[in-house]
């Protein structure tokens, strides 16, 4: 390529970059508009009529004090692993000991028979207990907190009706059913000395585990493959629970399931690429917010932009090359974008190598600039939109200063995600600029404690404690708590 034609190409691509900046940049005013709408939608979800955001009551009815004691099991049923933990809450405030084992979740079980799944889980639990306790015949039953991170309806803390499978599971006869009796039948058949005390969602666990070690924690969030948040509401502000006559100042943890925010497409700044992701997803019209900010979709957004610039724009990036690998949906995940954003070299040599090895594409310097800027725009938009949800809960609850516990691969690993989110919170909530860069923000989003392990055990402890005190709200089987 002659110098002149390279300059023309660069100029053509800088126009494309400008257009992408217009599409993906979310200005302060827009962030504020989204946040205000988000507050209304959170309230709508708590109403009798309901709304797009489910706002599920979890029957977790207090924060931990840090003085909880006892030994509890926690089971976390993820898409790839089954994790079993034994957590001992010690006499020292906010301290715990943990032993844990991971068991692979066999792929064939994820699409097999329901009883095979529950039998496998019972076997893993039995193996764990025998390893750490020896002879099970003389044991008292251990209380268990079960982290079941699939959309479930919970009218009680010790039940969960699966709404739909996610994470690659597709087992017939479970959707629309309460999973607890299936699980308990498998335990009973194998004589596993366990009593299920609480079924929890990982986001609620994140909130409770984080609040156990840090009393300023008011919100738990997940920014990973999916996205979600949980916080404590007063029962008096939950019209859909009014019929239960719970004292209005009683706390109730709410699992927001906020990925469904703005399914009506009223405020989120969607691009044609977001519309394509939605239309080609298994459930079009659902999880509008999640599809713009979650790790599962960031790489796909990037891929769609690249294919569009190759096919439909005068710039024709990667022209004359075979882009068949780039045409495969979901071939790039958020770690691909992370690698591009982390490339420390001015000539973006790591990005060039990444395109060569993963996609068989040779990108020239101008194309590499475009690639880097696209990744930055998509990553920044995700972080800034995420902040709208956090700001909305804080505005709804009147929190002017608190900590937010966040977990998930995007929060923990995606470059600059934390800083970009913090900057967006500053803009939405009109904080003055810092005088000292080391100074804490009024609302800080920090790395959370282990929600699906320690959080599940703590919720089991809190549930046993409140039952002892006579609070039987949301308990289906009181006989299991005696």
- Cα–Cα dist 99/31, whole Å: 43
Decide if 202 is catalytic. Answer: yes
Give the gyration radius of the chain's Cα atoms.
24
Does residue 52 carry a catalytic annotation?
no
The active-site residue, picked from 164, 270, 327, 372, is: 164
Residue 45: which of 291, 240, 230, 235 has the closest Cα? 240
- Catalytic member of 202, 274, 278, 343: 202
| Candidate list 52, 62, 149, 386, residue with the active-site label | 149
Residue 482 CB neighbours (<10 A):
6
Q: For residue 377, what are its two tokens?
A: 């725009």
The tokens describing 125, both together, are 């639990």
The verdict on whether 401 is a catalytic residue reads no
Q: What positions carry a catalytic annotation?
A: 149, 164, 202
């Amino acid at each position: 390529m002659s110098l002149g034609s390279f300059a023309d190409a660069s100029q053509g691509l800088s126009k494309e970059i400008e257009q992408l900046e217009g599409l993906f940049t979310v200005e302060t005013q827009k962030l504020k508009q989204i946040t205000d709408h988000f507050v209304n939608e959170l309230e709508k979800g708590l109403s009798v009529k309901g709304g797009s955001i489910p706002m599920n009551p979890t029957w977790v009815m207090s924060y931990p004090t840090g003085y909880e004691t006892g030994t509890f099991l926690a089971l976390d049923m993820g898409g790839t692993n089954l994790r079993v933990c034994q957590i001992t809450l010690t006499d020292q405030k906010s301290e715990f000991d943990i032993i844990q084992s991971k068991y692979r979740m066999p792929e064939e079980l994820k699409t097999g028979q329901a009883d095979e799944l529950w039998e496998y889980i019972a076997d893993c639990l039995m193996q764990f207990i025998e390893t750490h306790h020896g002879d099970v015949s003389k044991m008292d039953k251990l209380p268990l907190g079960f982290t079941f991170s699939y959309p479930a309806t919970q009218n009680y803390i010790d039940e969960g009706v699966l709404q739909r499978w996610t994470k690659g599971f597709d087992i017939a006869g479970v959707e629309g059913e309460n999973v607890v009796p299936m699980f308990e039948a498998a335990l009973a058949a194998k004589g596993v000395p366990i009593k299920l005390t609480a079924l929890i969602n990982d986001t609620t666990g994140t909130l409770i585990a984080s609040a156990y070690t840090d009393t300023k924690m008011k919100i738990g969030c997940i920014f990973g493959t999916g996205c979600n948040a949980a916080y404590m509401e007063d029962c008096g502000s939950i019209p859909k629970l009014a019929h239960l006559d719970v004292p209005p100042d009683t706390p109730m943890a709410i699992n927001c399931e906020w990925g469904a925010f703005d399914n009506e497409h009223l405020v989120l700044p969607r691009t044609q690429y977001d519309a394509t992701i939605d239309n080609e997803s298994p459930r079009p019209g659902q999880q509008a917010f999640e599809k713009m900010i979650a790790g599962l979709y960031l790489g796909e957004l990037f891929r769609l932009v690249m294919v569009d610039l190759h096919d439909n724009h005068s710039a024709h990036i990667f022209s004359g090359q075979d882009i068949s690998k780039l045409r495969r949906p979901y071939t790039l995940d958020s770690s691909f974008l992370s690698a591009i954003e982390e490339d420390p070299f001015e000539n973006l040599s790591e990005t060039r190598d990444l395109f060569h090895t993963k996609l068989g594409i040779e990108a020239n310097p101008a194309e590499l600039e475009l690639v880097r800027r696209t990744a930055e725009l998509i990553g920044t938009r995700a972080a800034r939109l995420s902040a709208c949800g956090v700001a909305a809960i804080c505005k709804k609850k009147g929190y002017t200063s608190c900590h937010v516990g966040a977990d998930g691969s995007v929060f923990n690993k995606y470059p600059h995600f934390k800083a970009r989110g913090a900057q967006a919170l500053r803009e939405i909530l009109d904080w003055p600029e810092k005088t000292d860069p080391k100074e804490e923000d009024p609302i800080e989003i920090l790395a959370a404690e282990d929600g699906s392990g320690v959080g599940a055990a703590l919720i089991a402890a809190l549930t046993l404690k409140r039952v002892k005190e006579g609070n039987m709200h949301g308990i289906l089987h009181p006989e299991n708590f005696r």
